[in-house]
Amino acid sequence: MPVKINSTKDTFHLTGGNTSYVVHIDSERDLLGLYWGPALNNADITYDEHDYMPGASFDLPASLKPFEIPTPGNGYYGTPALRIRNEYGDDITELKVVSFETYKGKRPLSGLPYIYTENDDEAESVEFTLTDSLTGAEVKAVYTVFNNCGAITRSLKVRNCSEKKLVIEDIMPASLPLWDGDLDILHLKGSWARERSLVRTPAGKSEYRITSERGASGHEENPFFAVLSRNADEDTGKVYSMDLIYSGSFMDSVRSDHQDHLRMGTGMDPDVFSWLLMPGETFVSPEAVLVFSDTGLNGMSAIYHELFRTRLARGKWRDRSSPVLINNWEATYFDFNEQKLIDIAEKAMNIGIELFVLDDGWFGKRNSDDSSLGDWKENRDKLPSGIKGISEKINGMGLMFGLWFEPEMVSPDSRLYREHPDWCLHVDGRKRNEARNQLILDLTRPEVQDYVTGSISEILRSASIGYVKWDMNRNMTEYYSGSLIPERRKETQHRYMLGLYRVLEKITSEFPDILFESCSGGGGRFDPGMLFYMPQTWTSDDTDAVERLKIQYGTSLAYPASSMGAHVSAVPNHQTGRTVSMRMRGEVAMAGNFGFELDLSALSEDDISEAKDLVTRVKEIRDLTRTGRFIRLLSPFDGNDAAWMFVSENRDEALVFFYRTLTTPNTAPVRLLLKGLDPDASYSDSEGRTYSGSVLMNRGLTMRTRNSFSSETVHLKKTDMN
């Protein structure tokens, strides 16, 4: 059983995969965390309150207790997991366990994305009910452990059982103590066109916070983070990690107490969040995913990848490889007509592309980025036969047709804004700050949600549309809704996310055959929350192959290759000005959902031939890159070379990618030590060379690539065993 309870029903041992997590209810009915780490044979960890007694008279017992839901005011001085301000004006909360329930499987979260199960045997849950007797606050802390992988999810449900109002000012669905010493913090930081770079720093003697306050998970930070042993690398060492299934502002925290014990947690950013809880109301937190690995970062990533690909992503496209696409954006920008699009599609068809995507500029009077967002009616000057007509022509060539939207935004120069100037996030009397000449629709309001759902659905019903790129190109300013009373103004960002999730649930449910891809100025909202509704995300607006090595490598810490949009674009690259070979651009993009963003008519005959070959190769390997285990081999952050590989579940097949950015003269060839193969088997490459799995993993595979901006791919298939 994945949840074991000892005979006195005070210690709970959650176990799955290679992981154990132990919580305890002490004599004062406090819920305490005793252990998280490698799997234990039994739950014989005991709690001795003397281990947590103050060592000095100045300390209080609560300052040392390993609370699972620490709260302020009772002598605990760290970062609270839950802060509730009551009618008396204070935030003192004492949560005591009054009951618990265990059950097989996992229950859904209302109105929020979450990890799901397809049958009850996959996981087991325990739900603790805690109450604060003075204020009437009731908290249900829900833990689920997944049997095979050992991932744990946590969420909190806070109910006001009193007759007076309460205000939630902090909430972290996961907060727990760590007992190891000498630890590092690892997280993903960046900016637009430079998303998810690796940052690793020693855990200090104070608090380290990773936050986004932009109303999106953001280009700058990502809700994933890890605490790992100082000697941990890709394949060895302990890794404790969390990711928040949420697409808005968040806070991750690693705090050292006065005895140098660390506590890590994830949840809402209190600087931009609070929630007024009226009598009888319940607030449900986003869900946190906890993953432990004692086989380094690759071991951790394998758990996230499988979990997110199979139990977070949903729908028809969860288990299908994405079609090879071409997007017209970098070929035409806003300057196109129907014939120009048809010409691009014809050239795409001739090299084996399967999906044509019409990007920005097809609606309203949209000839630049300064108008028409919100007016989702086709521009008949550009498209005389409308979306229906162009889609039928594209379909007639044997291609799927896809369309770009930016549904969460409104242009001040639009019919929608002129009719409803109050429908954007704003503060009356203050300037409405524009970014990219646009404002953000107020999705806290049901009537705005319904407008977005209705207008987008009308277009999707009108034509044969097989793909949607859902974009969001700015972050929040003036994040207040005129529909909320002053006491609720700080709820705006979260209410916006709940409104967005409601819209996404309705649209993706009505159109289950459409492949939805999320985008936010590239990778500005690459998070687990969006993957619940859309199985893939545009990884970055930076399509330079050299920069993409770092972006895709960092993204892979938590997110599967199946979730990454990765395209071949023109050279010199529009973001960096760099010129890289068609082959390298293609072999970087092959490690994600492959496509093109360029003018095919501007390519040389050699590049057209190479592009056609790339498409053929992608179709041969895309099931492997979608479902195979992704393993990082060489980090682009550490030198001029980068490498990763995919290995099929049965280890019958492997695909190795090697990339060189800058050449160092007169150096020996790189010998890659492969991973994850069957050591007792033989593997052959496409040129007929045969290798022992053991030799490939211990002596290595020699890479022949030597030049700057070049790449090499080796496809290995198992042959008869020696």
Distances (CA, A) of 228 to 175, 204, 236, 520, 552: 16, 13, 10, 30, 21
Start-to-end CA span in the chain (Å): 41
What residue type is assigned to position 558 of the chain? A
Going by C-alpha positions, the residue among 373, 353, 463, 370 that lies closest to residue 415 is 373
- Report residue 687 as tokens: 């040129």
What residue type is assigned to position 222 of the chain? N
Task: Name every residue whose Cβ is closer than 8 Å to that of residue 437 and which is 6 or more positions away in sequence.
Answer: 369, 370, 371, 411, 412, 413
Distance in angstroms (rounded) separating the CA atoms of residues 205 and 557: 26
- Which of the following is catalytic: 541, 607, 641, 678? 541
Going by C-alpha positions, the residue among 461, 416, 713, 694 that lies closest to residue 588 is 713
Do β-strands 467-470 and 515-518 pair in parallel, antiparallel, or remain unpaired? parallel
- The CB-side HSE value for 11 (13 A sphere, CA atoms) comes to 17
Residue labelled with tokens 């498409």: 615
Task: Name every residue whose Cβ is closer than 8 Å to that of residue 273 and which is 6 or more positions away in sequence.
Answer: 169, 171, 249, 490, 491, 493, 494
Distance in angstroms (rounded) separating the CA atoms of residues 141 and 160: 15
Distance in angstroms (rounded) separating the CA atoms of residues 406 and 374: 8
Is the Cβ–Cβ distance between 263 and 279 less than 8 Å?
no
Going by C-alpha positions, the residue among 470, 474, 526 that lies closest to residue 503 is 470
What residue type is assigned to position 118 of the chain? E
Is the Cβ–Cβ distance between 417 and 410 less than 8 Å?
yes
Distance in angstroms (rounded) separating the CA atoms of residues 221 and 251: 10
Is the Cβ–Cβ distance between 519 and 537 less than 8 Å?
yes
**DSSP class of 438:** B
Task: Name every residue whose Cβ is closer than 8 Å to that of residue 502 and which is 6 or more positions away in sequence.
Answer: 111, 449
Do β-strands 653-660 and 641-647 pair in parallel, antiparallel, or remain unpaired? antiparallel
Residue labelled with tokens 């003697």: 205
φ/ψ of 647, rounded to 5, equals -130, 130
- Report residue 481 as tokens: 């809704």
Distance in angstroms (rounded) separating the CA atoms of residues 554 and 141: 32
- Report residue 40 as tokens: 């234990």
Distance in angstroms (rounded) separating the CA atoms of residues 248 and 443: 13
Is the Cβ–Cβ distance between 255 and 210 less than 8 Å?
no
Which H helix or E strand runs over 331?
helix 329-332
- Which of the following is catalytic: 30, 269, 471, 542? 471
Residue labelled with tokens 């529909």: 483
- Report residue 441 as tokens: 């629709």
Task: Name every residue whose Cβ is closer than 8 Å to that of residue 521 and which is 6 or more positions away in sequence.
Answer: 192, 219, 471, 472, 473, 474, 541
Neighbours of 184 (CB within 10 A): 18
471 is catalytic: yes
599 is catalytic: no
Strands (E), 1-85: 3-5, 11-16, 19-25, 31-38, 82-85
Is the Cβ–Cβ distance between 36 and 240 less than 8 Å?
yes
Distances (CA, A) of 689 to 212, 673, 701: 50, 17, 11
- Report residue 105 as tokens: 């499987």
- Residue 298 burial (CB < 10 Å; 0-12/13-18/19+)? buried
Distance in angstroms (rounded) separating the CA atoms of residues 539 and 522: 6
Name the residues annotated as catalytic.
471, 541
